[in-house]
Amino acid sequence: MQVFKAGIEMASRWAIVCLRTYLKGRNFSSSCASAKPLHVCIVGSGPAGFYTAEKMLKRYEQANVDIIERLPTPFGLVRSGVAPDHPETKVVVNQFSRVGANERCSFFGNVSLGKDISLMDLHKLYHVVVLAYGAESDRELGIPGENLAGIHYAREFVWWYNGHPDCRYFPVDLQSTDTAVVLGQGNVALDVARILLRPLNELGTTDIAEHALSALQKSCIRKVYLVGRRGPVQAACTAKELREILGIQGVNVHINEADLVTSSLDEEETKKNRSKKRVYELFCKAAKSKSCQEFSTHDRDLHFVFFRKPERFLPSIDQRKVAGVRLQKTILKGDDATSYQYAVGTGEFEEIESGLVLKSIGYKSLCVDEFPFDHNKGVVAIKHSIHC
């Protein structure tokens, strides 16, 4: 769910900037009985877009909201990002449908900002334009071998099993290897690992895409490594998803007890943040319970690898496909000013053999038209920092 962060933060800040500029210019008063209609255009129909529309419609009686979306169907990440075995999260679609059914709200599918219509045109037609199109690009690792076949972005894999039209023919090969390495330990990484390891009879009852289900039926993946460059306290996943993946039937979970040792800075972090504390406790509980089992009885394995950052990808003999990942061991170094802990390489290396690598290290937005854009961070550049 944290994947929606970039989108909604951007959308709400942009909405407020546009709204304030408009209100300043027009002396618009929402309490004035004879006020003119406020035409709002929201670019993007995911949760950010719909929540913005809902608030706009509620706040201003005269607001007319048009939501434009580049796909023919709405709801964005609710449809293409939420895992198929989490149908209860998708119930929010009902709330969005109620917003869409409002007579002051319209939805236009298959309209792409930048291609079909420009921001200048939208400015001419609408009083307020909100950019809520999310982050459809990915952060790069920038290490050698990143272009090898078999290395994919987790976002594309998630779009593939959720049936997104852009990734219908995603070239993922689940048959040539029995090991998958997922770089990152956020909720998306856990989702991807869970879909790879979940028993097929359970996946068959979900709304996973047909082509993905048939590919997973033929899949040879039996081991998944979740690699994070820092420790269990810094893992970006939340308790609910972690609890779910630790409890999958037929999967042995491997956690190295040595990774669970905490420093004083770690303890400070867990004291400040309740979510991190519970995640860490789940890791400890899982490590203790699994270490009691000497013999693995299941055929699928999930390994949590902490304090390792990828140094390079190892090519196969024909130099085209990936055959493994070389990881550098790290230790945490605290920043006294921010009490933030950075992962610093130690110069010791180890390797994991794998034919499938999924990178789940974060997202970047795309610059679709001519407006100020920070290409380094991958976000729309906003002059004023506004909290709403």
Q: Of 66-74, 140-148, 254-262, 286-294, which part binds another protein (CB under 8 A)?
A: 66-74
User: Which two structure tokens, joined as six digits, stand for 103?
Assistant: 């007579």
One-letter amino acid of 197: L
- When asked if residue 204 is in the footprint of another protein (CB under 8 A), the reply is no
- When asked if residue 263 is in the footprint of another protein (CB under 8 A), the reply is no
Of positions 25, 31, 88, 201, contacts another protein by CB under 8 A: 88
State the minimum distance, in angstroms, from the CB of residue 169 to another protein: 11
C-alpha dihedral sign at 255, 259, 262, 267: negative
Interface mask toward another protein for 144-173; x: CB under 8 A: ------------------xx-x--x-----
User: Which two structure tokens, joined as six digits, stand for 213?
Assistant: 């289900």
- Tell which positions 107-146 bind another protein, by CB under 8 A: 107-112, 115-117, 121, 125
- When asked if residue 278 is in the footprint of another protein (CB under 8 A), the reply is yes
Reduced to 3 states, what is the DSSP secondary structure of residue 260? Answer: helix
- When asked if residue 329 is in the footprint of another protein (CB under 8 A), the reply is no
C-alpha angle with apex 178: 173 to 182, nearest 5 degrees?
A: 75
Nearer to another protein, 88 or 318 (CB): 88
Buried b (16+ CB within 10 A) or exposed e, 271-298: eeeeebbbbbebbeebbeeeeeeeeeee
Question: What ranges in 1-111 are assigned the alpha helix state H?
Answer: 5-26, 47-59, 77-80, 92-101
Interface mask toward another protein for 282-321; x: CB under 8 A: ----------------------------------------
Q: How far is CA 266 from the centre of its chain?
A: 25
Q: In angstroms, rounded to a whole number, what is the distance separating the alpha carbons of residues 312 and 296?
A: 31
Interface mask toward another protein for 338-357; x: CB under 8 A: --x-xx--------------
DSSP state of 179: E
Of positions 94, 201, 264, 297, contacts another protein by CB under 8 A: 94
- When asked if residue 382 is in the footprint of another protein (CB under 8 A), the reply is no
Of positions 24, 218, 384, 387, contacts another protein by CB under 8 A: 387
Question: Which residue, 137, 141, 180, 175, is CA-closest to 159?
Answer: 137
Of positions 23, 28, 35, 39, contacts another protein by CB under 8 A: 39
Element (H, E) at 158: helix 154-161
Q: Where are the beta strands (DSSP E) in 161-264?
A: 179-183, 223-227, 251-255
User: Which two structure tokens, joined as six digits, stand for 109?
Assistant: 């599918």
Give the footprint of another protein on this chain (CB under 8 A): 1-2, 4-9, 36, 39, 47-48, 51, 66, 72-75, 77, 79, 86-98, 100-101, 106-112, 115-117, 121, 125, 162-163, 165, 168, 206-207, 209-211, 229-230, 238-240, 243, 274-275, 278, 340, 342-343, 387-388
